[in-house]
Amino acid sequence: MALTVPVLSRYTLTSTASAVSSGMSIAFGERNGTLHIDGETKSLSPITSMCELSNGDLLVGCSEGLHCYRGAEEVWGIPLETGVDGIYDRVIIDGLGRAHIVNTDGSILALDAESVLHVAVSKTIALSTESGSVITYSLDGHRLWTRPNRGEVGERITAIGWHSSRLVVAREGHGLVPGEEEALEVEIWDDEILEKRFDVKHRVIAIDGPWMGLDMGGVMFEGELVAELSHPTHTVIDRGNHCLAGSWFHLHRISSTGIEWSVETQGMVEQVSCNSDGTSVLIAGSDQNDYTDAEPVVQIDSNATPVSVIEEETTLDDWGDAPTIEIDASELYGDTQSIEDIAGIEAAQSMVGSDLLSALEEEVESIESDEDEDDLMLSLSLDAEEIIAPSCDAGGDQQVTADEDGTVVVLLDGSGTDDPQERIVQWSWIDGTGREIGTADRLRVKLMRGSHRFELRIRDSDGRWSSDSLDVRVE
């Protein structure tokens, strides 16, 4: 029986939610710049991210800079020309993909890492870049270690995370196995020494502690698949003996034995924040439909006692209440009216007696082939059409300039994909977080300043997948 937990609150928005924070302050931000914090609202530039520090201060990233709030009062603000793309504890990534460390007094220290894709913060800071590098820094900004690259062709880091003192790195690369097959692996580093490396069947796109989310749906615990989901798992939050995993329109609580409960939301699970004891979890996201109202921010208690999911009744449920129709057997099987009468045609003359026997006794002339079996098979094979697999093309990398509001609409164009036999049955555009954002060959996306990576995946009628990616830099 499917289980869920009750929703504690639903917070109505005026535009799409872009960031949430659940801790000493309940806060969430909108793309139109509205900040909700402790029941009050503030007006900022478009909000991109937020994170609560250990002292309870809230960092809020916007398209024009960084703000720090203590309760509902702003403590300080830092203007940034390129804006803030993401906040991970005291590490921020600006709109050009550069990493900075922010101190509680508002001072900021730039790190020597650019084009940053992933950030993981524990007692040490770990960053991965578009070039495939993984670098660690101390909390005061000193560079400590750089992971050695494997091979020279096509390595890409898909996710990083900390499991206690060990750094977990998920990667994909070409050229390490025969042919063009992708090598999907997870590495575990302990004190800069490679402790373990193992293959995974699917691309890992989220890591927190012993938990990993997969782009083709599923959650792994300690390297073993414990739950299969139907959509990419782009968010996992380590809660010790279980995790919270966001996939499509659901937030799941998953343990080493599988899914414990699931909460369905109106929007896709794009932002999740959990306080220290798990009693307050905020979930936000859009349903990607421009013609509906903004989806609310939902608050739940992840420790609440699960209840059964109540299925809504539909008109199908009323069929069982329909009155019984009684009919006499003679009406149903009687022979008072022939099929010909019903159809309004004349009955055909029956073939009976000797005419039928004569027809059966007639010799059927056999047709012998002049070609032997080998020649026939050769002819058939020559006539068979050669199968040409589609070749995916996501288009070239783009560099565009943002409008005055810091955003720009970009066309992702996969129409250059070669499909001479029209074998493609599925298109899928994936953003840098592993989330599917479109299912057509061409897609328009609204982007803020910074670096963005997209991947186009196609599936042919034989079930084979192929992919191609591109980078978009918005200045």
pLDDT digits (tens, 9 = 90+) for 142-154: 999 999 988 666 6
Residue-level pLDDT at 305: 95
Using CA atoms, how far residue 445 sits from 177, 314, 384, 401, 472, in Å, is 35, 36, 42, 14, 11
CA–CA distance, 238 with 219 (Å, rounded to integer): 12
**Whole-number Cα distances in Å, 6 to 282, 287, 434:** 13, 21, 28
Longest alpha-carbon distance in the chain: 109
* Residue 454 within a domain: yes
Mean pLDDT lowest for which of 373-387, 392-406, 453-467?
373-387
CA atoms of 173 and 170, how far apart (whole Å): 10
Report d(CA 81, CA 116) in Å as an integer: 18
Phi/psi for 278 (5° steps) reads 80, 5
Q: Which residue has the higher pLDDT, 423 or 94?
A: 94
Rounded to an integer, the average pLDDT of 218-222 is 96
Between 64-73, 160-169, 191-200, 344-353, the lowest mean confidence (pLDDT) is in: 344-353
Predicted pLDDT at 420 = 86
Task: Provide the number of structural domains found in the chain.
Answer: 1
Q: Which of these, 340, 357, 336, 358, lies nearest to 349 by C-alpha position? A: 340
- What gap in Å lies between CA 280 and CA 466, rounded to an integer? 41
Residue 164: pLDDT over 90: yes
Residue among 94, 90, 190 at smallest CA distance from 139: 90
* Cα 254 to Cα 23, 228, 241, 454, distances in angstroms: 22, 10, 9, 29
16: which strand partners? none
Output 391 or 238, whichever has higher pLDDT: 238
Is the separation of the CB atoms in 147 and 170 below 8 Å?
no
182-202: per-residue pLDDT in tens? 688 999 999 999 999 999 988
Look at 17-21, 299-303, 366-370, 393-397 and tell me which has the smallest mean pLDDT: 366-370
Concatenated DSSP letters of 172-228: EESSSSSTT--EEEEEEEETTEEEEEEE-SS-EEEEETTEEEETTS-EEETTEEEE-
Lowest mean pLDDT among 11-15, 101-105, 132-136, 386-390: 386-390
Whether the pLDDT of residue 367 is over 70: the answer is no
pLDDT at residue 313 is higher than 50: no
pLDDT more than 90, % of the chain: 58
CB within 8 Å of 59: residues ≥ 6 apart: 50, 51, 52, 53, 66, 67, 68, 87, 92, 102
- Which pLDDT value is given to residue 361? 54
Residues 6+ apart with CB under 8 A from 376: 369
Q: Quick check: is 441 in a domain?
A: yes
Q: What is the mean pLDDT of residues 334-358?
A: 51
**Residues 97-128: pLDDT tens digits?**
999 999 999 999 999 999 999 999 999 999 99
Q: Note down the domain range covering 404.
A: 398-474
Whether residue 37 lies inside any domain: the answer is: no
Q: Which residues contact 89 (CB under 8 A, 6 or more apart)?
A: 51, 53, 121
Within a domain: 403: yes
- How far apart are the C-alpha atoms of 431 and 287, rounded to whole Å? 16
CATH number of the domain where residue 420 is located: 2.60.40.10
Mean pLDDT, the chain, rounded, equals 85
The verdict on residue 416 lying in a domain is yes
Given a contact cutoff of 8 angstroms between Cβ atoms, the answer to whether 100 and 116 are in contact is no
Residue 422 domain-assigned (yes or no): yes
Q: Decide if pLDDT at 338 tops 60.
A: no
Q: Which amino acid is at 348?
A: A
Please answer whether residues 91 and 99 qualify as being in contact, where contact means their C-beta atoms are separated by less than 8 angstroms: yes
| pLDDT of 355 higher than 70 | no
Kindly give, in sequence order, each residue whose CB lies less than 8 Å from that of residue 321, ignoring residues fewer than 6 positions away. Answer: none
With a cut of 60, say whether residue 362 has pLDDT above it. no
Query: What residues contact residue 426 under an 8 Å CB cut-off, 6+ apart?
Result: 439, 458, 459
Assess if residue 466 is contained within a domain.
Answer: yes
- Higher model confidence: residue 55 or residue 175? 55
- For position 27, what pLDDT does the model report? 97
Q: How far apart are CA 355 and CA 234, in angstroms?
A: 75
Confidence of residue 402 (pLDDT cuts 50, 70, 90): confident
pLDDT digits (tens, 9 = 90+) for 25-56: 999 999 999 999 999 999 999 999 999 999 99
Is residue 344 a part of any domain in this protein? no
The CA distance from 20 to 273, in Å, is 6
Phi/psi of residue 459, each to 5°?
-125, 130
pLDDT band at residue 328, thresholds of 50, 70 and 90? low
Number of C-beta neighbours around residue 426 at 10 A: 12
Residue for token pair 């299925």: 311
Please give the average per-residue pLDDT across 130-145, as a whole number.
Answer: 95
- In the block, tokens 């963005």 appear at 452
Check residue 406 and give its pLDDT.
Answer: 81
